[in-house]
């Protein structure tokens, strides 16, 4: 009996140890994207690639739809090491001012331009800025080209935004931009936006088409104005737990994150082409804005960025140079 008891204890201890080891090798990736979002599509592709390469040594598990909190909350969890990877976008401007570059309206002309900016600006300036704040970027994916929806009227020129209560992500410069256009912007977690729009607490919001559709904003918004006002990348971000993983695991994660960059851009372009029609079919009224009017109305924020952000003018000049290539 004593032998059996000892064997049972040893067996239970072994099971507990195995469970602990399994938990240690789980790599948690959190994001705010809903079902069908570009975040979900790209994160799942990344997880599939990593898990195939690691063959059970470690496993990426994705948590979408803000299951692990808002972008700001997940940044804190990365710092604490309770979350391994996240996909922040606009919120990175609250981490370091260099990320505010992607708050500038009509900065990126197309995805080919973004590739060059990614390789020659982001991998240098912003990787270093993130490291200085205790984070590590291992890849640059896509959030998308942002459009405006609301329940009051079509937006054609900046003046049409006057007085509209507009939900924005947590980015200082995004708020500044829409204030300069005459709107009343209010930062709010993406997970809270649907109810705010549904109840009229907010008149409208701005997001890439895939976020608008996957968050079902088309169900509670009447007008979709194709403004293309900001292109927002998404950053595959690691934090305090990064160094806990073996070097070969970190290598696979980094390589897979960069492999997924092209996939994210391709998927983003394909979704943009298909989603306008879907939202029209859902009953939204779609129009194009006068982009030149918005560009002309953005000079003030560009001047402010160049003056207030250290190295801001140099980054703007580099992006302009890459536009011409």
What is the maximal distance between C-alpha atoms in the chain? 86
Round to whole Å and give the CA distance between 106 and 205: 18
271-288 tens-digit pLDDT: 999 999 999 999 999 999
61-95 tens-digit pLDDT: 999 999 999 999 999 999 999 999 999 999 999 99
Round to whole Å and give the CA distance between 235 and 107: 18
Checking phi first, is residue 62 left (phi over 0); if not, alpha (psi -120 to 50) or beta? Answer: beta
| Residue with token string 């970190």 | 250
Contact 163, 181 (CB under 8 A): no
Round to whole Å and give the CA distance between 194 and 218: 10
Domains of the chain: 25-323 (3.40.190.170)
Contact 87, 56 (CB under 8 A): no
Residues 6+ apart with CB under 8 A from 112: none
Structure tokens at 196: 């705010």
Of the chain, the end-to-end C-alpha distance in Å amounts to: 80
- Residue 33, SS3? coil
Mean pLDDT confidence for 208-222: 97
| pLDDT confidence band for 10 (50 / 70 / 90) | very low
Residue 315 has pLDDT above 70, yes or no: yes
The pLDDT of residue 131 is: 98
Distances (CA, A) of 65 to 9, 38, 145, 215: 41, 12, 20, 9
Structure tokens at 39: 């975040």
Round to whole Å and give the CA distance between 99 and 173: 10
Q: What percent of the chain has pLDDT over 70?
A: 93
**Mean pLDDT, the chain, whole residue set:** 93
250-277 tens-digit pLDDT: 999 999 999 999 999 999 999 999 999 9
The pLDDT of residue 151 is: 98
Round to whole Å and give the CA distance between 199 and 111: 36
Q: What percent of the chain has pLDDT over 90?
A: 90
The pLDDT of residue 324 is: 87
CA 163 to centroid of chain Cα atoms: 27
Residue 296 has pLDDT above 80, yes or no: yes
Round to whole Å and give the CA distance between 171 and 9: 54
Mean pLDDT confidence for 148-168: 98
DSSP 56: T
The pLDDT of residue 18 is: 46
Mean pLDDT confidence for 139-144: 98
- State which H helix or E strand residue 167 sits in: strand 165-168
Distances (CA, A) of 155 to 78, 81, 202, 224, 271: 38, 43, 16, 8, 22
Please spell the DSSP secondary structure of 230-282, one letter per residue. -EEEEEEEE-TTGGGS-HHHHHHHHHHHHHHHHHHHHHHHHHHHHHHHHHHHT
21-67 tens-digit pLDDT: 444 489 999 999 999 999 999 999 999 999 999 999 999 999 999 99
């Amino acid at each position: 009996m004593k032998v059996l008891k000892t064997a049972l204890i040893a067996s239970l201890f072994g099971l507990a140890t195995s469970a602990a080891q399994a938990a240690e090798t789980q790599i948690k990736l959190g994001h705010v994207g809903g079902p069908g979002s570009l975040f979900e599509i790209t994160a799942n592709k990344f997880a599939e690639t990593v898990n195939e390469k690691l063959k059970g040594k470690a496993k990426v598990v994705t948590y979408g739809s803000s299951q692990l909190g808002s972008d700001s909350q997940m940044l804190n969890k990365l710092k604490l090491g309770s979350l391994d990877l996240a996909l922040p976008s606009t919120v990175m401007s609250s981490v370091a001012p260099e990320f505010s570059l992607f708050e500038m309206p009509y900065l990126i002309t197309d995805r080919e331009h973004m590739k060059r900016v990614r390789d020659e600006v982001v991998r240098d300036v912003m990787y270093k800025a993130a490291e200085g704040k205790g984070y590590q970027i291992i890849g640059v994916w896509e959030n998308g080209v942002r459009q405006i929806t609301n329940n009051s009227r079509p937006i054609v020129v900046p003046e049409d935004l006057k007085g509209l209560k507009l939900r924005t992500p947590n980015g200082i410069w995004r708020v500044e931009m829409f204030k300069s256009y005459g709107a009343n912007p209010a930062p709010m977690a993406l997970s809270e936006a649907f109810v705010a729009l549904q109840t009229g607490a907010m008149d409208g919001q701005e997001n890439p088409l895939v976020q608008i559709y996957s968050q079902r904003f088309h169900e509670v918004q009447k007008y979709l104005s194709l403004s293309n006002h900001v292109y927002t990348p998404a950053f595959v971000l690691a934090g305090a737990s990064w160094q806990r993983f073996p070097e070969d695991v970190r290598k696979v994660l980094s390589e897979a994150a960069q492999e997924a960059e092209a996939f994210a851009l391709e998927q983003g372009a394909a979704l943009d082409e298909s989603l306008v029609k879907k939202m029209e079919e859902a009953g939204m009224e779609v129009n194009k804005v006068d982009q030149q009017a918005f560009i002309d109305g953005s000079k003030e924020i560009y001047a402010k960025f160049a003056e207030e952000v250290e190295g801001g003018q140099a980054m703007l000049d580099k992006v302009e140079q890459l536009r011409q290539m």
